[in-house]
A and B are shown apart, each in its own frame.
Chain A
Amino acid sequence: MNSLSLFPPPGPDGNITLFESNNELVCGTSLGSRQKQGWEPPSLLFPRESLKPHSRPESSSKAAFLDHRDTLWMRSARAWRDSGLSGLLDEIANCTEEEVPRWLTVGCSWTLALLRWVSSFHGSLFPHLTLSSEDMVAEFSQVLDWSDCAVRAFAWHPHTDKFAVSLLDDSIRIYNSKSATAPTLKHRLQRNVAALQWKPLCASALAVACHNCLLVWHVDPTSLSTRPSSGCAQVLSHPGHCPVTSIAWSPNGSLLLSASPVDTAMMVWDVAGESCVPLQRVGGGGVTFLSWSPDGSRVLASTPSALFRVWETRTWTCERWPCLKGRCQTGCWSPDGTRLLFSVQGEMVIYALTFTDAPGSSKAAAIVADLSETSFSTSQGQVRVGGQVQTMAWDPRGERLAVLLKGTEPEPVISQHILLPVVRSHSTTSIGFVKGESGAEPRLLQFHPHFPNGALLTVCWSNGRISHVPFFFVSAGGSVLNPGGSPPWPLPQSRAVENGERLLYTEMSS
């Protein structure tokens, strides 16, 4: 098992991590100390102060603008449209006596009380349902501290040197290596962006998970316009399916999955037809995070409860995986789709699951890395690192794993770091911690999908900086085009038995 104690200590303060070579992270003070090789993605800075977040929490400004002299019918109709049955009941219950007979007001308020009682019962089963939708996105997002982060989502294009960044002001910007224009996408419905993903095998389509819908932008790569009109966006929505916190395109580009913590169904969208097929499974109370394996055969779907599912995509049946401690926070697949790494909230470990097509293989998750707090002695004194996993990324060659840790409570200052173990053919080697500018904490990370000389990690920092850290290495087997299977995991299955109390077992279900 890998643990943090095997890592080299973090670099000195004031230095930032520049690149990796010979299995070591090189630190320096400025970015310019490395010779350029081909196209370098721009290192961008979006200062938090320059972005104006939407200062309109839901329904706060409603009372200021509504004309209260409407007739009861008008108000009731509007309440029904805006917030459904409870809104209607609330509206009638608050009427004056000359408008509505007294028995109706009393009846409505009783019904409302009953509804609230029932929903509070429902909420006690699934506590996340009591959150406001913005808090819900923040809770289940892969971004650390989503609500306060200048960069809310980031997505590399799977085939070309192009990426999209979603910012705090609900705009999306697209940077392309081949053109100087950086289009800005804005849409009336584009609020609280939780995730972005480019459609594979397509140059232009970008899916955006928004507050109450999904948007699919078609950004013409040859267009010189800096503000594509909102007519370029397809709006996909389904009643009861909001907020959308996670999306996943199938690797062959034909289907789009979307998930909402409120909806127990996961939607399979046929984007061109704007139709969807709900895949309903009641247990868990919603779906928070989706990850499609790179070979397209399986999908990880985690729920807000201590349960996650792994769907297979031929007939869309699923395996249930109940966890012990908490919900599955994040997960990532090996390039060949046979291994799934995931982390569970409340535990400072990374689990691994191996999928084989052979039936009857023992199904148990094994712990592959221990991330509990460890102290390092550096020139500045003791430094403590460790915590729960917020998000993970596995590079497309399967040789580097980047992990973003959530700070533990007593010492949150320096514990947020990225650690990068190398997965070698028979051992995992620890590479080190990636450091950013002083005071900046990492919030989000993603690997470039086809970096020629190794792997390129893109990190979004709390100060609004987006930096790119290249790892130069020679791949052990195969090129990027044919990922010839990820190397065998160093941990034998027997190791899992030793940690018997932490094993997770699956329950087959359809």
Chain B
Amino acid sequence: MTSSRSRVIFWRAAASVAWSVLLLPVTTALFAFLSRFSLFHPIQWISESFSLLYGSYVIFSLVLLCGVVLVVGVFNLEYYTVVPSVPCTKIALLGKVLHPQQSVHSLVHSMMGIMVTWCAATMIGGRYWILAAPCSEEEGVTGQKMCLNEYYLFFLLAGAFMGYSYSLLGVVRNMNYVSFQTIQQCKYLRFKGMLPQVVRYSAVQSLYSVRNYCLFYFFFGYIPRAWICTTLNVHEDSSLHRLDTVSGLLDFRLLYHLWLSGTFLLLTWHITLLLFRIFITEAYSFPVQSSFSEDVSQCLPKVLSEKQPLILKFLALQDLFLLSQQSLSRRMEVFSLSQPGGHPHNWNAICKECLSLLSDLSQRLVEYQEVVASNGRARPLSSHSDQRSTSSETLGMSLQILSIESRPFSSSSVNRFVGNVDPSSPWYGSVQSPHVMRRGPKLWTASTGRLKFAHVKNFLARRVLIMYLFNKLPEASSQALFADSQAHIWALEGLSNLVAASYKEDRFGVVQTMLPSILSTMLLLQEAVDKHFKLPHASSKPVRSTCCLEDSTFKTLRFALRAALKTAMYRITVTFGEHLHSVQMSAEHRKRLQQFMEYKE
């Protein structure tokens, strides 16, 4: 049954790849057209370009490029995530880059890059045509010596470099993170709106890549060249400029072709990525209830409660949000009673799932606050009394917990904020400025057995580079805590809209019974969120990214959650007004609610 629902995702990804393949001839034609650009012979340029388009090389390249797009599409589908993993330290980021899975990604993309630039080189033709050519030197009396065509090598290597940097930047900038749109535009309009930005972004990124690649080739270009020469037994043409010299690299036409090929490469891949994101995040309408028992697993309450795949849970929450706002008939289904028995199963399931999401978040926040509060404060160590922990300052490094990658929907994600140990060594504290080390919450695990290990860590911690790598990035842990908060925002919006709608539409009063627990859950979360924002770095605004493709939505999700929570509370208080006084709740919550009713929050 899960597979039948996952099939939706698969078909969406397939459709996105199909569209990228369909767009490929257009971008290829544009590339062929621009690659022949010459300002002074416009007629020749245009006629040449047209004759090129019908050439067999272009057709063959197209077939090859389709394959590349397909592979990129498969990687998009395999590597995407709706909950980004936010590295909290530099070393965690490094770990992410060097992760085997990521290495596969980088390797494959480098190879794809080589293929794309090979196609580009073939289409441009001319001096990028073949790897080895007969030497131009005339003194070659011993017959035709084959010489290396360095332009060709330069081009292919550029492809590998760009493919690798695409993959690398993808990790650093969380390009595999798929965020959901704030408004529901149709797919074509979304694509049309984003396309100019994607083109600009690809062109600019290609410019940076060309710059970096030229630097790289200038310093290390001789290595691949020598290697190719020895393995293929070709010679270097001494009559031509070498490309790892300043004069060799200042070939304007070469740089233009390189930049154009890079733009072409990035553009096709970015369009594939963009289409994938657009297709996969499109709102999906789940049935609220079904009269056939075999379809029950497709229904909204069931999908909401599933953990995997995560994207379906997100789509279900989005659907809940949309139906609570827009569709009267589907809301009526939510409020309806089951036919034999008269139980509000739909409402109960939806409400329960939303509330458990929200209380999970509250719990996660509370535990995080406890961990932060316990750091830097004297705290008796119960389990490790044998240690020579005279210094009660709990400082240390966390090798175990390199990152707080938020594991959504489980309160156990906080298990990684495990209790502390004090592996303080005699020299420690005197050398290191505690200032630097106390920045951010310190989280670590250790046990008595790892005492030696901790010693090593503390020793290493004094080295500057290690310090740099292990220092916590400010506000990253806060971002990581709220990484999956899009789900909570939808749960809040959906729940509060349903509650507000129930004022008029709920004929059986099914919502009334849950109102106390909804209110108390929201108020608890409100309290936890308020406390969280009092922590250092929690309320500092992140830098906004410049481009659409580098999605930084997750960086501001905590602010969005705070706003959505207040809006949800106000929606309920505005709708019910004075009637809320008759709802059972604790005195503290009543006081808090009163603040909302007087518009003082």
State the A residues within 8 Å of B (CB). Answer: 157, 159-160, 162, 178, 201-204, 221-222, 252-255, 268, 270-275, 277-280, 296, 313-317, 481-482, 510
Contact = CB atoms under 8 A, between A and B. Distances in A.
A314 B599 contact: no
Interface string B576-601: 01000000000000000000001111
B182 A268 contact: yes
A316 B193 contact: no
A279 B577 CA distance: 36
A51 B538 CA distance: 40
B189 A273 contact: no
Interface string B181-215: 11111100100010000000000000000000000
Interface stretch (B242-250, B406-414, B557-565): B557-565
Contacts of A317: 186, 189
Contacts of A252: 325, 497, 567, 571
Contacts of A313: 183
Given A201-B574, A252-B325, A252-B497, 18 more contacts: A159-B574, A201-B571, A254-B564, A268-B182, A270-B182, A271-B563, A272-B562, A272-B563, A272-B564, A273-B556, A273-B559, A277-B185, A314-B326, A316-B183, A317-B189, A481-B577, A482-B504, A510-B189
Main secondary structure of the interface of A (DSSP, over half): loop
Interface of B: 181-186, 189, 193, 325-326, 493, 497, 504, 541, 544, 553, 556-557, 559-560, 562-564, 566-567, 570-571, 574, 577, 598-601
Contacts of A270: 182, 560
Contacts of A296: 325
6 contacts: A178-B598, A252-B497, A277-B183, A296-B325, A317-B189, A481-B577
B594 to A, nearest CB: 13
Nearest to A510: B189
Contact of A201 (B183, B541, B570): B570
Contacts of B559: 272-273
A222 B544 CA distance: 31
A255 B186 contact: no
B184 A316 contact: yes
A279 B182 CA distance: 13
B189 A316 contact: yes
B597 to A, nearest CB: 10
A203 B599 contact: yes
Contacts of B553: 273, 275
B181 A277 contact: yes
Contacts of A204: 601
B567 A253 contact: yes
Contacts of B574: 159, 201
Nearest to A276: B182
A315 B562 CA distance: 26
A157 B544 CA distance: 30
Nearest to B551: A275
A268 B184 CA distance: 11
A277 B182 contact: yes
A253 B563 CA distance: 9
The 8 closest A-B pairs by CB, nearest first: A272-B560, A201-B570, A203-B599, A273-B556, A272-B559, A160-B599, A272-B563, A270-B182
Contacts, number: 89
A221 B599 contact: yes
Contact of B567 (A201, A277, A278, A482): A201
Nearest to A176: B599
Contact of B186 (A160, A481, A510): A510
Contacts of B562: 272
A57 B117 CA distance: 53
Contacts of A178: 598
Nearest to A178: B598
A233 to B, nearest CB: 12
Contacts of B564: 254, 272
A106 B497 CA distance: 65
Contacts of B598: 160, 178
Contacts of B326: 314
B544 to A, nearest CB: 6
A278 B600 contact: no
A202 B189 contact: no
B185 A255 contact: no
B556 A274 contact: yes
B560 A273 contact: yes
Nearest to B575: A481
Nearest to A277: B183
Nearest to B555: A273
A378 to B, nearest CB: 45
A157 B193 CA distance: 34
B570 A202 contact: yes
A315 B567 CA distance: 23
Contact of A315 (B184, B557, B560): B184
A347 to B, nearest CB: 33
A273 B553 CA distance: 7
A270 B564 CA distance: 11
Contacts of A202: 563, 566-567, 570
Contacts of A159: 570, 574, 599
B488 to A, nearest CB: 13
Contacts of A160: 598-599
Given A159-B574, A252-B571, A280-B193, A316 B185 contact: yes
Contacts of B504: 482
Contact of A274 (B544, B557, B566, B599): B544
A222 B186 CA distance: 43
Contacts of B577: 481
B186 A315 contact: yes
A495 to B, nearest CB: 32
A162 B563 CA distance: 20
B291 to A, nearest CB: 27
A221 B564 CA distance: 18
A309 to B, nearest CB: 14
B567 A254 contact: yes
B92 to A, nearest CB: 24
A262 B497 CA distance: 36
Nearest to B570: A201
A254 B321 CA distance: 12
Contact of B193 (A253, A273, A278): A278
A106 B558 CA distance: 55
Nearest to A218: B563
A204 B326 CA distance: 26
A41 B145 CA distance: 96
Nearest to B181: A277
**In the complex, which of the residues B181, B183, B560, B562 has the most CB atoms of chain A within 10 Å of its own CB atom?**
B183
Nearest to B558: A272
Contacts of B567: 201-202, 252-254
Contacts of A273: 182, 553, 556-557, 559-560
Given A202-B570, A270-B182, A314-B326, A277 B599 contact: no
Contact of A277 (B193, B497, B541): B193
Contacts of A268: 182-183
A230 to B, nearest CB: 14
Contacts of A280: 193
Contacts of A254: 182, 493, 564, 567
A273 B574 CA distance: 25
A174 B181 CA distance: 34
A273 B557 CA distance: 7
A481 B574 CA distance: 9
A298 to B, nearest CB: 13
A270 B600 CA distance: 23
Contacts of B566: 201-203
Nearest to A278: B193
B484 to A, nearest CB: 15
Contacts of A510: 186, 189
A201 B557 CA distance: 19
Contacts of B570: 159, 201-203, 253
A271 B601 CA distance: 18
A352 to B, nearest CB: 25
